[in-house]
Structure 1
Amino acid sequence: MTRPAAAGVADLVRLRAHRPEAVAEAAAARRRRPLLGPSGRLMVIAADHPARGALAVGDDEMAMADRFGLLERLCLALSRPGVDGVLAAADVLEDLLLLGALEDKVVIGSMNRGGLAGAVFELDDRFTGHRPADLARRNYDAGKLLLRIDHGDPASLDTLHTAARTVDAMAARRLPVFIEPFLCHRTGGGLRTDLGAAAVTTSVAVASGLGGTSAYTWLKVPVTENPEDMRRVLRASTLPAVLLGGEVGGDPDGAYEKWRGALRLPTVQGLVVGRSLLYPADGDVAGAVDTAVGLL
């Protein structure tokens, strides 16, 4: 695991309690890099799930609840060749800063985490995480927002409006913002995302038009149920896109093949993958990460 002499995982609580200013110091001193490196591709590890109360991986409902274990997995993933950076909420990013794991990495702050998983207010997705000013102050490289739209839920309009103003605020600071759009609907009390071609195409079109400028907007797009539809889906926008990995279930090889095909499309610049790489079924984090990097 990557860690500086000043702080190992077991020392984080002590450092946070006695020297909270260490977070700002580490952020100011971090070595930065361009969003896209020499390869022109982007491989990012996602770990913003806990801030929305989404702790499950497969059948284990509390898999991501062990913060020390998550940090070890993240540090291992970030140390692998070809991994460009990480997407997470403030607490996880600051842990990684204190561990020295974010040097020369792309750091993307997660912004709206208020739509807690399973809550009745899940689609009233308040921006309870990073603000654009926070990202700029910490010298982070980009932000990410989740845009879930249910045509039958008025709360979606509030999320749309806030997302649009956030796009404006990020562009004013010349900070890229990754929008992760979905069309959703409630079934039996639970929220379900529609990964059909028409729904994903519509969500891409809506996300691309948010705000007064799209100059700094990227898309974070799921692979459709039928991967053959992705070429048509991604013709809905000229904005650069990364693929949302999602969970691969019991068929990682099938998921990798879907990603491989979509990565050939002209607007796709890379992958953002979280739980399926950090918690692979065989336990081999390094192997899962290396396989995903190889797809690029």
Structure 2
Amino acid sequence: MTGHIFSDADFERLRTLRATDPGVFARVLSERRRRPVLRGDGQMLIVAADHPARGALAVGRNAEAMANRYDLLDRLAVALSNPRVDGVLGSPDIIDDLAALGVLDDKIVVGSMNRGGLRGAAFEMDDRYTGYDVDSMVSAGIDFAKTLIRVNLGDPGTAPTLRATADAVTRAAQAGLPIMLEPFMSSWQDGRILNDLSTEAVILSVSIAQALGASSSHTWLKLPVVADMDRVMQATTLPTLLLGGDSGADPDQTFASWQDALTLPGVRGLTVGRTLLYPPDGDVAGAVAMAAQMVHPSQVPAPQDLSTTDRTFSKESR
């Protein structure tokens, strides 16, 4: 990867704080500078990094690309140093690390809720809520919630996931917390769960997901970019962020598909992980800058250098 933000001393400090001052994580999250979910042009670019919590470490042909936590944190910090990146999506361990490392001021923090459907597990479709819950996010000052909903009509494990998701949507609406649903129609094929990315399947998944819960007032969607994306967006009135997917695809083709879909009514930006964090050429800053230009074309970026940011971890430790 080109460019680094954190030093060995930063990571040593983080490890020490985890062992000696665990209360620091709640403090830095509560004290960080927060921002509105939408501002300016009303679009968002969110960098996603909740894949490891589900045991999904691969990027393209590299089966352990996301296994090195220090490398992942540095890549996330490079992405977040771009002022046109609005925020980050992660499991609690990732968010705690980034908060303590001091890179979440003025960023939207999206908490990932259900990561219990471990990749390759026999129980993968019973996607338990093993991460954040609504109460913990509200208490910690998390700005947004996110859930994965894979609907497998041939697997009874889908039913408890739908029930838990409906409950989460209801609680989020009651708490005034935006919640992002990422739905797929899925099936078992040769011992693996595969998502159906046909236009018809995505439309069906949207229809199921947007009806979950007692209120859709705070529900957003996170959808893959597929053929006939205009038909997909005609299936919902909910605000939608586009899913980036794996960087194994042709980057030029991927970026071009985003560019077209971003113009559709209802689309509010991108939520992208591996494509930006692990680009084929290793240039994280460059990949992020391209995506940021697509999402915020009229926003003039101000220079931001996190290498000189005061990344002290708590007021008590200064």
* TM-score greater than 0.5 by the shorter chain: yes
Q: Shift of residue 10 of structure 1?
A: 2.7
By relative contact order (CA 8 Å, sep 6+), the higher-ranking structure is 2
Aligned to 1:194: 196
Note if contact 2:59-2:247 (Cα within 8 Å) is conserved in structure 1: no
1:245 aligns with 2:244: yes
Q: Shift of residue 81 of structure 1?
A: 2.6
Name the CA distance, whole Å, in 1 between partners of 2:191 and 2:287. Answer: 34
Name the CA distance, whole Å, in 2 between partners of 1:190 and 1:166. Answer: 27
Q: Shift of residue 33 of structure 1?
A: 0.2
Name the CA distance, whole Å, in 2 between partners of 1:290 and 1:39. Answer: 17
Aligned to 1:76: 78
Q: Shift of residue 295 of structure 1?
A: 1.3
Q: Shift of residue 9 of structure 1?
A: 2.3
Note if contact 1:114-1:125 (Cα within 8 Å) is conserved in structure 2: yes
Note if contact 1:218-1:241 (Cα within 8 Å) is conserved in structure 2: yes
Paired-residue identity, %:
49
Q: How does 1:47-58 map to 2 (within 5 A)?
A: 47-58=49-60
Q: Shift of residue 270 of structure 1?
A: 0.4
Q: Shift of residue 294 of structure 1?
A: 1.3
Aligned to 2:274: 275
Aligned to 1:128: 130
Name the CA distance, whole Å, in 2 between partners of 1:84 and 1:2. Answer: 18
Name the CA distance, whole Å, in 2 between partners of 1:71 and 1:254. Answer: 27
Q: What secondary structure sits across from 2:245 in the alignment?
A: coil
Aligned to 2:43: 41
1:76 partner amino acid: V
Aligned to 1:159: 161
Q: How does 1:102-121 map to 2 (within 5 A)?
A: 102-121=104-123
Deviations 1:153-195 (A, max 9, x none): 0110111111000000111110000000000011111111000
Q: Shift of residue 2 of structure 1?
A: 5.7
Q: How does 1:1-296 map to 2 (within 5 A)?
A: 8-224=10-226, 226=227, 229-296=228-295
- Residue segments in structure 1 that go unaligned for 5+ positions in a row: none
Deviations 1:37-81 (A, max 9, x none): 212100000000010000001111111010001000001100013
Q: Shift of residue 27 of structure 1?
A: 1.1
Q: What secondary structure sits across from 1:16 in the alignment?
A: helix
Name the CA distance, whole Å, in 2 between partners of 1:99 and 1:90. Answer: 14
1:267 partner amino acid: G
Name the CA distance, whole Å, in 2 between partners of 1:283 and 1:194. Answer: 29
1:274 partner amino acid: G
Q: What secondary structure sits across from 1:276 in the alignment?
A: helix
Name the CA distance, whole Å, in 1 between partners of 2:294 and 2:83. Answer: 13
Note if contact 1:150-1:156 (Cα within 8 Å) is conserved in structure 2: yes
1:265 partner amino acid: L
Name the CA distance, whole Å, in 2 between partners of 1:105 and 1:237. Answer: 27
Name the CA distance, whole Å, in 1 between partners of 2:133 and 2:235. Answer: 28
Q: Shift of residue 248 of structure 1?
A: 3.4
1:283 partner amino acid: G
Q: What secondary structure sits across from 2:256 in the alignment?
A: helix
Q: What secondary structure sits across from 2:281 in the alignment?
A: coil
Q: What secondary structure sits across from 2:184 in the alignment?
A: strand
Name the CA distance, whole Å, in 1 between partners of 2:123 and 2:45. Answer: 32
Deviations 1:224-251 (A, max 9, x none): 1x2xx11011111100000000013241
1:89 partner amino acid: S
- Residue segments in structure 2 that go unaligned for 5+ positions in a row: 296-318
Q: What secondary structure sits across from 2:104 in the alignment?
A: coil
Q: What secondary structure sits across from 1:214 in the alignment?
A: coil
Name the CA distance, whole Å, in 1 between partners of 2:161 and 2:25. Answer: 30
